[in-house]
Amino acid sequence: MRGFFVETITYALGMKRAAVFLDRDDTINVNADLPEGAWEGVKWGDLLKPEFAVLMPGVKEALVALKQAGFVLVVITNQGGLARGGGTSRDVEAVNDALRRKLNESGEGVFSEQLIDGWYFAPHHCEGCVEPYCCDHPWRKPHGGMIRAACDELGLDPAKSWMVGDKQRDLDAGMDAGIAQEHTIQVGPNGTHADLMAAAEEILTEPEGSGGEVASDPKIAAGTRVVLKSTDDAFVPMADGRTREMVEAVARGIAERTGVVIHELSCDEKKIEVVIGVHRLGALAFMAQLRRDTNRWHERQFGTALWSVNKEW
């Protein structure tokens, strides 16, 4: 999440923020592969028992990386089990609460903040039997009503946002609400990406996704190499030696605070390059934090951001 100083400027200017909208079942948590006990008394797939709330592998790391890069994270989920009489809104919230706890339990450093900014669910189904939910509704995917509501309530811009889900209806809901087709990603066995971690990696490495350019290489023996550099050939953000020293000091401070090991660190007039002992998404999150913190420092000292800013983000 962006720092308080940046957020204050954003709201004052009336700018809307970029978000990643996320399906819930089989995108964030396991659903299709749950044991039979999860479906006692309900239709298969209607997850209404919090004891069966299990995160999919890599989800927490992916969400941390997206959050650290400045995206608002919003879950939108169809919950037709309410229309079918399998449970109530309290059951849906109980599952959501269980997932919240798992996403934030035992957190330290960048893992400690509340990751999901909003949870929306549509209890409707046209084949249901419970009033008033036994109908289609603008909120039910593939309609984009939940996304529109979140954009209005949280100050989000669908044109800058992404939609990630395991079914085509998730992608259709995003496009119905104004998210570009190229910003919709289907995960899972029928998708283009294996899981949320793979989707997050694409989002984070898109050129428009950061103020400076964050480039990364595959893991090497010592860790993951990441480079934060200016995207403007004529711009040398760290021409001043004192600025380079400050950027290095901030990087080492973030590492100490979050428990990340820095194996190598080098800095010149246009970039900082770091090899750190975390996976690729964690490395991208580290550099997003570095970009944000050093921009804040430079704005306080000199009135301008250190790294070039993409105004579309």
List the chain domain ranges: 4-205, 213-302
Give the C-alpha separation, 165 to 34, whole Å: 18
- Whether 293 is catalytic is no
Residue 292, classed as helix, strand or coil, is helix
Catalytic-residue membership of 268: no
Burial class (CB in 10 A: 0-12, 13-18, 19+), 131: exposed
Cβ-based neighbours of 240, under 8 Å, separated by 6 or more: none
Distance in angstroms (rounded) separating the CA atoms of residues 237 and 191: 40
Nearest to 289 by CA among 142, 59, 111, 153: 111
**Paired residues of 220 in beta bridges:** 223
| Six-digit token string for 254 | 């973030």
Residue appearing with tokens 């998404």? 281
Cis peptide before 132 (omega within 30 of 0): yes
Largest CA distance in the chain: 70
Q: pLDDT at position 141, please?
A: 98
CATH 3.20.20.150 fits 213-302, yes or no: no
- Using the 8-state DSSP alphabet, how is residue 35 labeled? -
Whole-number pLDDT of residue 231: 66
Eight-state DSSP code of residue 29? B
How much is the pLDDT for 39?
96
Q: From 83, 84, 121, 97, select the one nearest 49 (Cα to Cα).
A: 97
Beta strands in 13-142 (DSSP E): 19-22, 72-78, 118-122
Q: What is the pLDDT along the chain (313 residues), one digit of tens a residue?
A: 222 222 222 333 346 889 999 999 999 999 999 999 999 999 999 999 999 999 999 999 899 888 878 899 999 999 999 999 999 999 999 999 999 999 986 444 444 457 899 999 999 999 999 999 999 999 999 999 999 999 999 999 999 999 999 999 999 999 999 999 999 999 999 999 999 999 998 998 765 444 344 444 443 334 678 888 876 677 788 888 999 999 999 999 998 887 788 888 999 988 899 888 877 777 878 888 888 889 889 889 888 888 854 433 3
| Secondary element (H or E) of residue 103 | helix 89-104
Amino acid identity at 37? G
Phi first, then psi, for residue 173 (nearest 5°) are: -65, -40
User: 4-205 architecture in CATH?
Assistant: 3-Layer(aba) Sandwich (3.40)
Six-digit token string for 182? 């190229």
pTM: 0.69
Q: Which of 23, 46, 172, 176 is catalytic?
A: 23
Q: Is the peptide bond before 50 cis (omega within 30 degrees of 0)?
A: no
Separation CA 153–CA 169 (nearest Å) = 23
Q: What is the pLDDT, as a whole number, of residue 266?
A: 92
Identity at 137, one-letter amino acid code:
H
